């Protein structure tokens, strides 16, 4: 955690000291450094059109996010004021059932927080078997790994019911870093901790399935 916080602070200070005062692009440019054709990147704006997402009023989405994160073991470290400051960097939307919010093996740069409804997390194994990894509940976070590194998606996330979601893009996270560095540092540290925990659970799940 300290390493992540130090990286964020160094990049933020460097951006502030630059002569042209350009904003941080630590996350939104991560994809380019991989040497992959940028046309392969699927941003939220494109996915929102595909899944016929409808924009939610920020006051509704924000209240749902606050209530859910207040009950989360890790995200509760962000107090009400912090979450309220964070809301303007998110997009809030409603998505119908049976829509792929995230697809396996695509490149993405956004994460999703489930606010209401249920989303299935499935992985197609190399030998062709479809494995259900989880059915998420409100408050669960999806896709944060690709938000942080713009890397390939490990699994598919499909709405099983009508859902309301909060979406944070790499551009939104960069803007948060530029405008509220301590808040961005706290969020990234918490996401990294939750991601580590989930990877351990998924690894154990896959290991058990192969026995």
Domain 2-210 coded CATH 2.60.120.10: yes
Contact indicator for 140, 165 with CB cutoff of 8 Å: no
Lowest pLDDT segment from 32-46, 91-105, 185-199: 32-46
| Mean residue pLDDT across the chain | 85
Lowest pLDDT segment from 5-14, 57-66, 91-100, 151-160: 5-14
Q: How confident is the model at residue 201 (pLDDT cuts 50, 70, 90)?
A: low
| pTM of this structure | 0.82
Q: Residue 87: its pLDDT value, please?
A: 95
Domain boundaries, the chain: 2-210
Q: How confident is the model at residue 13 (pLDDT cuts 50, 70, 90)?
A: very low
b (16+ CB within 10 A) / e for 186-209: bbbbbbbbbbeebeeebeeeeeee
Strands 107-108 and 41-42: parallel
Stretch 194-208: mean pLDDT: 68
Q: How confident is the model at residue 209 (pLDDT cuts 50, 70, 90)?
A: low
For 101-126, write each residue's pLDDT tens digit. 999 999 989 999 999 999 999 999 98
Q: Residue 50: its pLDDT value, please?
A: 97
Contact indicator for 29, 149 with CB cutoff of 8 Å: no
Contact indicator for 205, 133 with CB cutoff of 8 Å: yes
Q: Residue 12: its pLDDT value, please?
A: 44
- Angle subtended at Cα 117 by Cα 148 and Cα 209, rounded to the nearest 5 degrees: 65
Q: Residue 28: its pLDDT value, please?
A: 79
């Amino acid at each position: 955690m300290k390493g992540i916080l130090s990286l964020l602070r160094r990049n933020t200070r460097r951006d502030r000291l630059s002569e042209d005062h350009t904003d941080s692009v630590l996350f939104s440019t991560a994809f380019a450094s991989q040497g992959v054709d940028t046309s392969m990147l699927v941003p939220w704006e494109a996915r929102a059109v595909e899944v016929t997402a409808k924009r939610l009023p920020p006051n509704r989405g924000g209240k749902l996010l606050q209530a859910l994160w207040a009950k989360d073991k890790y995200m509760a470290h962000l107090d009400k004021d912090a979450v309220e400051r964070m809301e303007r960097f998110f997009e809030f939307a409603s998505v119908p059932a049976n829509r792929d919010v995230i697809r396996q093996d695509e490149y993405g740069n956004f994460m999703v927080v489930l606010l209401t409804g249920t989303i299935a997390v499935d992985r197609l194994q190399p030998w062709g078997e479809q494995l259900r990894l989880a059915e998420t509940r409100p408050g669960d976070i999806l896709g944060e790994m690709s938000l942080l590194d713009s890397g390939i998606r490990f699994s598919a996330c499909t709405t099983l019911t009508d859902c309301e979601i909060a979406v944070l893009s790499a551009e939104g996270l960069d803007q948060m870093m530029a405008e509220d560095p301590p808040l961005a540092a706290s969020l990234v540290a918490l996401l990294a901790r939750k991601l580590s925990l989930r990877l351990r659970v998924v690894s154990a799940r896959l290991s058990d399935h192969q026995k």
